[in-house]
Amino acid sequence: MPELPEVESLCRQLQNVIVGASIKKIRIMDPKLGSAPQLTGRRVTAVNRQGKSIIIKLDDDRCIRLHLRMTGRLLWQDGGIKYMVPDYSRWRIVFSHGCLDCIDPRRFATFQIGQIGKESSVSPDPLEEFDTDRLIKIAASRKICIKCLLLDQAVISGIGNIYACEILHLAKIDPARKASDLTRSQWKRIADALRPILQTAIDCRGTTASDWRDLFGNPGEYQKYLKVYTKEGLPCSVCQGTVRRIRLGGRGTYYCPSCQR
Ligand SMILES: [Zn+2]
């Protein structure tokens, strides 16, 4: 599932190829998405990320809001006269210089038209703010583990399974610990771990552990830097302990029991 770094990478790549361009045509291939919206001639003025959503702003105060959910990804093709339709393409936006497809085998990704400025409210973005006091307060009222709290999009937006595992490893905190039991200094370690991990992952255009691809069909590179995610049975790079996999909140969770307490 694309997380903050993957979605941010897509937004940055989209900014380079579609800002300033006008929409020629929209084709909806998946009937689940309804009929094609009337956006012919509209010019793209900006592309921004909001949590894990991609907001494509248009010159008439409307925007296209995309959420990739489980298996969605975007593919840009240009330089051709006729563009191939990729397998599992659900919609296509055609510009004069190329086209953008949403590839989504499981068909959960969403495509909505909205008004700029009326975006639904999202919880704080960890790249912009990580308010430890606020999180301590939320944790106190919730009986869940720290990893489940980090994954709760109503609390913090954008962190998913891969980066929650990696952040807690760098912060040396056991993912199964009750969030309400963490000390202020442990929260500080999470805050300090979060930014470098997310920032490096953005620079790497995300993690390709299975099917993730960037806007141009290339895999990300953060998998080279993973310390625990998918490393079950391998030695921990910090302490040489053995990385284990457990299930927390229904999700496979990787951690090092020796250095994460
Ligand atoms: Zn370790």
Residues 207-256: tens digit of each pLDDT: 998 889 999 999 999 999 999 999 999 999 999 999 999 999 999 999 99
- The question of whether 251 is a catalytic residue gets the answer yes
Residues 140-185: tens digit of each pLDDT: 999 999 999 999 999 999 999 999 999 999 999 999 999 999 999 9
How far does the centroid of ligand 1 lie from the alpha carbon of residue 169, in Å? 8
Strands (E), 196-258: 244-248, 251-255
Q: What does each C-alpha distance from 90 to 7, 111, 116, 130 come to in angstroms? A: 18, 10, 24, 35
CB-CB neighbours of 253 under 10 Å: 23
Query: In a 3-state reduction of DSSP, which class is residue 42?
Result: coil
- The question of whether 65 is a catalytic residue gets the answer no
How far does the centroid of ligand 1 lie from the alpha carbon of residue 49, in Å? 34
CATH class of the domain at 4-115: alpha beta
Cβ-based burial of 184 (10 A; exposed 0-12, middle 13-18, buried ≥19):
exposed
Report whether 9 contacts 212 (CB < 8 A).
no
CA dihedral 115, 116, 120, 126 (to 10 degrees): 160
- Alpha carbons 193 and 175: distance in angstroms, whole number: 14
Counting Cα atoms < 13 Å in the Cβ hemisphere of 118 gives: 8
Q: Quickly name the fold that domain 132-255 has.
A: Helicase, Ruva Protein; domain 3 (1.10.8)
Catalytic residue, candidates 3, 6, 8, 166: 3
How far does the centroid of ligand 1 lie from the alpha carbon of residue 227, in Å? 9
How far does the centroid of ligand 1 lie from the alpha carbon of residue 236, in Å? 5
How far does the centroid of ligand 1 lie from the alpha carbon of residue 260, in Å? 7
pTM of the model: 0.94
Report whether 62 contacts 42 (CB < 8 A).
yes
Counting Cα atoms < 13 Å in the Cβ hemisphere of 176 gives: 13
Catalytic residue, candidates 2, 5, 126, 175: 2
Residues with CB under 5 A from ligand 1 (ion): 236, 238-239, 241, 256, 258-259
Q: Residue 119 has what pLDDT?
A: 67
Residues 65-95: tens digit of each pLDDT: 999 999 999 999 998 778 999 999 999 999 9
- The question of whether 52 is a catalytic residue gets the answer yes
CB-CB neighbours of 25 under 10 Å: 12
Residues 4-37: tens digit of each pLDDT: 999 999 999 999 999 999 999 999 999 999 999 9
How far does the centroid of ligand 1 lie from the alpha carbon of residue 234, in Å? 10
Catalytic residue, candidates 52, 57, 205, 231: 52
Catalytic residue, candidates 27, 244, 251, 257: 251
CB-CB neighbours of 241 under 10 Å: 14
Residue 135 in this model has a pLDDT that exceeds 70: yes
- The question of whether 8 is a catalytic residue gets the answer no
How far does the centroid of ligand 1 lie from the alpha carbon of residue 213, in Å? 30
CB-CB neighbours of 44 under 10 Å: 23
**Which residue is listed with tokens 């691809």?**
213
The domains of the chain are located at 4-115, 132-255
